[in-house]
């Protein structure tokens, strides 16, 4: 039996969630119906557009561009600052509805997910019927719209969900590729950016079909590893499973999906430090240490990597674990845009276990442990943002400088 995979994507998620919330509070204007955008949070998003309405899109406003550029294109653009808690609540409610239809769901980001719907016809009808049921229930109960893409693998399901928007269900089965998929311009293929588009056009490849029909060895020779998976994508080849994230009972971990792809090393490590802080606080709260640390990275091309290593001694010291996390990240990240980052630990031992000291290690572990405990106490009383490590502040500043140079 062929697999049936859904990709569900919230239409202009942040903006839709802001619009629905305002309408519930009595607003007369629906942000989705006027030129509007979510952005301008200088501290966390550095003044970029996170989401825009369809009317704003007609002015050329794009996600990820500086707010100042968006306002030049559309001076009457209504700007709304992001509301993180609101997005988290809507994301959870969105996922709860999806869980009513399948127990195999992969949360790909805060506003999109894959569902394995294989074998559910007897429960919910044919795939298109089931997709419409899900779409309509989300709108009826939560007030926002989604697109649903249907296929036999994750790649084609995601491509299908990007067809005409909003509030649509689209199929892209292998037998539909020649008609629906191959005529699309090559820039529409998942993971083809401007630079890659130019390189492919120099080879005479202008549509997805052109790439699919080009000899594999030619593509591999010119684009190396990237060419291999782009050629596979153009031919609709993808055997990656839908991977639900299940809790690990043998360790402690934390992960986060990001609303915009991470391409900056400093920003990635800032997030990893925050995740490490939270994991280590849990370890100390429960009076345990760990002997193994790992990271997980999910890229925006559907792929995922993980990397772990054993520690020389059991620890719950943030600085010590974060140093290893950074080493693991440096060994695995190749610059591919990131959608999810995670920090995990394993081989848990009780706090009372002693540390094997080395004659060549002059680190004052007792001092570091006292520092961590003091920070934990401050955050418990005054909140997570009451105190930050200097390294984290430095990282944020470096990230800001990097973005400024890019602009």
- Which residues are marked as active site? 112
Q: Under DSSP, is residue 391 helix (H, G, I), strand (E, B) or coil?
A: helix
User: Which pair of tokens denotes residue 145?
Assistant: 């719209």
List the helix and strand counts (H, then E) for the chain. Answer: 15, 12
Do residues 116 and 104 lie in contact, with contact meaning Cβ atoms separated by under 8 Å? Answer: yes
Of 244, 250, 210, the residue nearest 230 (C-alpha): 210
* Residue 216 CA to its chain's centroid (Å): 30
Phi, psi of 134 (to 5 degrees): -65, -50
What span, in angstroms and rounded, lies between the C-alpha atoms of 390 and 273? 12
User: Which pair of tokens denotes residue 237?
Assistant: 């080849």
Do residues 284 and 318 lie in contact, with contact meaning Cβ atoms separated by under 8 Å? Answer: no
With b meaning 16 or more CB within 10 Å and e meaning fewer, what string describes 234-250? bbbebeeebbbeeeeee
């Amino acid at each position: 039996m062929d697999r049936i995979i859904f990709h569900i994507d919230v239409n202009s998620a942040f903006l839709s969630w802001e619009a629905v919330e305002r309408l519930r509070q009595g607003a007369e204007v629906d942000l989705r119906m006027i030129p509007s955008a979510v952005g301008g949070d200088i501290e966390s998003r550095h003044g970029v557009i996170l989401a825009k309405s369809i009317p704003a899109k007609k002015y050329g406003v794009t996600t990820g561009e500086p707010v100042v550029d968006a306002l030049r294109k559309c001076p009457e653009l209504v700007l709304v600052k992001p509301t993180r808690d609101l997005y988290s609540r809507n994301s959870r409610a969105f996922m709860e509805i999806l869980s009513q239809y399948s127990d195999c769901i992969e949360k790909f980001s805060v506003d999109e997910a894959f569902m394995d719907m294989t074998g559910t016809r007897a429960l919910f009808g044919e795939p298109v019927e089931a997709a419409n049921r899900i779409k309509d229930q989300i709108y009826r109960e939560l007030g926002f719209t989604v697109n649903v893409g249907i296929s036999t693998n994750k790649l084609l399901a995601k491509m299908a969900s990007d067809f005409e928007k909003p509030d649509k269900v689209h199929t892209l089965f292998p037998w539909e590729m020649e008609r629906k998929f191959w005529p699309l311009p090559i820039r529409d293929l998942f993971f083809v950016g401007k630079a890659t588009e130019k390189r492919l056009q120099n080879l005479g490849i202008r549509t997805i079909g052109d790439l699919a029909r080009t000899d594999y060895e030619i593509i591999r020779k010119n684009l190396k590893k990237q060419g291999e998976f782009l050629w596979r994508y153009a031919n609709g080849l993808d055997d990656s499973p839908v991977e639900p994230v299940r809790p690990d009972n043998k360790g402690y971990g934390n992960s986060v999906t990001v609303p915009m792809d991470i391409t900056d090393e400093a920003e990635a490590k800032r997030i990893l430090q925050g995740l490490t802080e939270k994991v280590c606080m849990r370890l100390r709260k429960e009076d345990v240490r760990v002997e193994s640390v790992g990271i997980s990275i999910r890229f925006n091309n559907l792929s995922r990597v993980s990397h772990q290593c054993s520690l020389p001694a059991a620890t719950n010291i943030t600085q010590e674990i974060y140093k290893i996390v950074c080493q693991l990240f440096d060994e695995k990240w190749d610059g591919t845009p990131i959608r999810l980052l995670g920090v995990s630990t394993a081989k848990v031992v009780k706090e009372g276990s002693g540390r094997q000291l080395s004659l060549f290690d002059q680190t004052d572990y007792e001092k570091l442990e006292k520092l961590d405990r003091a920070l934990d106490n401050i955050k418990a009383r005054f909140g997570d943002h009451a105190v930050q490590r200097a390294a984290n502040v430095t990282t944020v500043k470096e990230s800001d400088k990097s973005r400024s140079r890019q602009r």
